Structure 1
Amino acid sequence: MSQRVAVIGAGPSGLTSIKSCLDEGLKPTCFESSDDIGGLWRFKETPEPGRSSIYRSLVVNTSKEMMCFSDFPMPADYPNYMLHSQLLQYLRLYAQHFDLLRHITFQTSVLTVRQRPDFSHSGQWEVVTENREGQEQRHIFDGVLVCSGHYTQPVSPLDQFPGHESFPGRCLHSWEYKDADAFRGKRVVVVGIGNSGGDIVQKRHSTRKGAWVLSRMSSSGLPLDMTAISRLTVLLTSLLPRALVNWAAERTLNHRYDHRLYGLQPTHRLLEQKPLINDDLPGRILQGAVVLKPDLRGFQGSGLLFQDGTTEEDIDAVVFCTGYNGTFSFLPPSLCSGPGGDLNLYRYLYNTDAPPLYQGVLVVPLCQGYSTGGLRARIGSFINLDWPFDQF
């Protein structure tokens, strides 16, 4: 009898997980809280609580050559870096080609994922779901794949800034931002210099620690990830001292434009954090179209005070691009007891206190650039683990 696996979420990771489970002879059941597939890549005019939200102009940061699933190439007429709507259409084509929709239960939320009382022997999990009518149902599964993403709980540090209570303008998180129309002609400050901040900024950009900025285009006009991600690059990065790799890569970036002169020089080394992928920001700084400001200190009436003592007056809106909490409220507390609430799973895969041969919880955090062959290998080992952890 095929082992039953729950797949939570019908975004890119959920769809490929369903396909990989079928390839491995497993019986997947996918629970999707909305009424359609696509997850993060479904644009909605109005953000919905508890779900990811993107803005109208969003273009992916991974080229189609690296993003496409290994068993389903993207259409030849797609651009190398596509708009979110094109990626969503690709996911629809993928689901249709492999007949995945019949394994998805829509408008069904997962409330809890808990070990059964006999878990030490069976390794089974009880999954409680709720449909759109509010009816709860209990299911028993041999394994659980968490593919619900982590861009659903925005982090807003507004309470950290004194004077925000009397600010007459609008404060919002990038999760709420849809397009620039609502802010046209207004004085807006963007706080945070991640990818969303780099895309959304109009004139004033406040950053606490700067960022290393990479363009989507690399040498000879090729997509960056096609030239930067290779077996040779991975080999050299693993063999050479990390400090040397950082120095060489940062030197190359600074040859294009000196991050210090542009006010972008970060406090961290290149390989310590994700870089900012943006084609326009340095040029806009050079033209004076974007003015970089230091970290925000607080609000003063309708103005903002920054850490260097400067102010910006008559501000109409502040957009916080300050990230998300990667929480999974339906998982057992024992799996969410890592530092800072991180998942207590070995390499985001296995709960090590489970039986030597078990069926457990696997979190699939990557939603793009994922080889389906590699995912099949993960799922095959996840459902039939029979080697020690130190051999990964």
Structure 2
Amino acid sequence: MITSSSAKRICVVGAGPGGLTAVKYSLAQGFDVICYEKIQSIGGQWVFTETAGAKCETDVHSSIYEELRTNGPKEIMAYCDFDYPKNIKESFISAAEVLEYHQAYAKHFKLAPHIKLEHEVIRIRPYNGLWEVYVLDKGSNQFHVKEFDFIFVCNGRGVTPNYAHIKDWEKYQGRRMHSHMYRRARDFKDETVLIIGSGYSGMDLGHQIFKYATHICISYHVTPPPPSNFKPNVVLKPAIKYFTANGACFSDGTTQNFSVVIYCTGFNYTAPFLSTDCGVFIDENVVYPLYKHCININQPTMAFVGLHINTFSALLDLTVRFALEYFSKRKTQPNRDDMLQETDAELAERKAKGLRKRLTHEINDLEYNYYEDLANTAGITPIKPAIIKIMLDTMSKFLTEFDTFRETVYEILDDENFVIYPNVSAKEAKDNEV
């Protein structure tokens, strides 16, 4: 551990799940830490924000909607050293419960004194071997400039909506929105709805809205189409060829009219506060060049946390611990050329497999042993295999049991093993066995 007299300073950008664990581990290792969060609360994307009155989409901090239940079980959403309360029996829980968990995490590890709310990072740039950070105190409307030895970029992925480029989109005359702005299913009463995208958000919004909408189409572009069960008024359609004034024509040649189009097409990662001389650039959602999707190869005193698509708290925890092994100099970084060569080799491998560039930071454990590699490279405790197994089981159930997979209850028995119950009642019956 670093002694107080030699403590280095770490700036953490964002007090969401990634930022909180960055603050926690940095403090535990003796660093002097300040975390800047631009909104009034910790919790990042789990903080519910209304969309009414927003001048533009990027003014809306969160994509959380009213009836959201997590698409991942709490067993994989917990940090490695802080469990969810035992009184929460379900595995798939509400956004409010996730937010309360992160608030409890911050309280338990006494993080609040190190977090400055309503402080927005405007600019980060390298200066005289340090990082110069320009911060706007939104309460006083005053700017401050601070210097730090290290930077954790933890600003999240879900802020700038991505819109799929579809022919004749400007001809469509109906209501058009991104899932980022969706809040309540009842707002779609008696509407005919086209949802573009069959990922987590697209499938879930269809599941939410069907109770109110007259008809829903979910347009997919994956092959084969997602096998799942749907309500009678929800149908799958292939990719859209072009829009019409009142609807869309699909690649199967059919045309339908819709009163609302919802883009569930993900987000573009942005970090507008990084100066051009920070050593990384962002293109099609790829932050380059990064060692192990984390450390800035050109300026290795900067690390990114939470870039991974479909991330979870145990991975955030692992990423932070990985970076701190190098920040603390317990682990010596490979030289720049070696890190760059490894990174470029991975990118070339992804391209050869036909994987889309914008999904570069998607870690598919069926193809890569990324989690184990991260732990082995830094010599740190890995993620429990049971957590990875639960994650893969959930992904499978999402595709084949979409209407019911959230009723599943998981219980981790040890590092390797877990059990599955079909619902809470089954778990309680097992607990009550004599």
Task: Give the TM-score, by structure 2 length.
Answer: 0.67
Q: Following TM superposition, by how much is the alpha carbon of 1:74 offset from its aligned partner in structure 2, in angstroms?
A: 1.0
What is the DSSP-based 3-state SS (H/G/I as helix, E as strand, rest coil) of the residue aligned with 1:343? strand
| CA distance in 2: counterparts of 1:352 and 1:291, whole angstroms | 46
Q: In structure 1, what is the Cα distance between the partners aligned to 2:305 and 2:276?
A: 19
2:326 to 363, 376, 381: 381
C-alpha change, 1:383 and 1:372, in structure 2 (3 Å) is same
Asked if 1:347 is matched to 2:292, the reply is yes
1:364 aligns with 2:305: yes
Q: CA 1:387/1:23 → structure 2, altered by over 3 Å: closer, same or farther?
A: same
User: Is 1:332 the equivalent of 2:332?
Assistant: no
1:107 to 118, 132, 137: 118
Distance 1:36 1:369 in 2: 22
Q: 2:26 aligns with which of 21, 35, 38?
A: 21
Q: Aligned-pair distance for 1:327?
A: 1.5
User: Equivalents in 1 of 2:317, 2:162: separation in Å?
Assistant: 32
Aligned ranges 1:39-188 → 2 under 5 Å: 39-46=44-51, 49-50=58-59, 51-78=61-88, 79-116=90-127, 118-119=128-129, 124-132=130-138, 133-157=140-164, 160-162=166-168, 164-188=169-193
Q: CA deviation at 1:200?
A: 0.6
Indicate the residue corresponding to 1:316 in structure 2: 259
Higher RCO structure (Cα 8 Å, ≥6 apart): 1
* Counterpart amino acid of residue 270 in structure 2: T
Q: Mean alpha-carbon deviation: is it higher for 128-137 or for 375-384?
A: 375-384
Q: Secondary structure at the match of 2:25?
A: helix
Tell me the alpha carbon deviations over residues 239-261 of structure 1, each in whole angstroms, 9 at most, x when there is no partner.
Answer: xxxxxxxxxxxxxxxxxxxxx5x
Length-normalised TM-score, structure 1: 0.74
1:379 is displaced (CA, Å) by 1.5
Distance 1:173 1:373, change over 3 A: closer
Contact 2:79 2:314 (C-alpha < 8 Å) held by counterparts: yes
Conserved 8 A contact 2:268-2:285 = no
Q: 1:137 to 1:374 in 2, by over 3 A?
A: closer
Q: Which amino acid aligns with 1:130?
A: L
The alpha-carbon distance between structure 1 residues 374 and 310, as it changes in their structure 2 partners (threshold 3 A), is closer
Aligned residues, how many?
311
Aligned mates of 2:173, 2:267 — CA distance in 1:
25
Give, in whole Å, the separation in 2 of the partners of 1:353 and 1:319.
Answer: 39
- Check the 8 A contact 1:349/1:382 in 2, yes or no: no
Identity rate of aligned residues, in percent?
31
Contact 1:32 1:107 in 2 (8 A): yes
1:290 matches 2:230: no
Aligned alpha-carbon RMSD (Å)? 2.2
Partner of 1:302: 246
Instruction: Flag the 1:349–1:82 CA change in 2: closer, same or farther, 3 A.
Output: same
- Whether contact under 8 Å (2:248, 2:256) holds in the other structure is yes
On the 8 A contact 1:71/1:372 being kept in 2, the answer is: no
Structure 2: gaps of 5 or more residues: 1-5, 211-215, 339-375, 378-434
- The 8 Å contact of residues 196 and 219 in structure 2, kept in 1 or not, is answered as yes
What is the CA–CA distance in structure 2 between the aligned matches of 1:374 and 1:126, rounded to whole Å?
24
Measure how far apart 1:374 and its partner are: 6.4
Q: Which residue of 1 aligns with 2:358?
A: none
Query: What is the CA–CA distance in structure 1 between the aligned matches of 2:259 and 2:125, rounded to whole Å?
Result: 47
Deviations 1:180-211 (CA, angstroms, capped at 9, x unpaired): 1111111001001110001012421111225x
Matches within 5 A, 1:217-228: none
Structure 2: which amino acid aligns with 1:151? G
Aligned to 1:264: 226
Aligned to 1:193: 198
2:11 to 6, 16, 23: 6
* 3-state SS in 2 of match to 1:53: coil
In structure 1, distance between residues paired with 2:33 and 2:199: 35
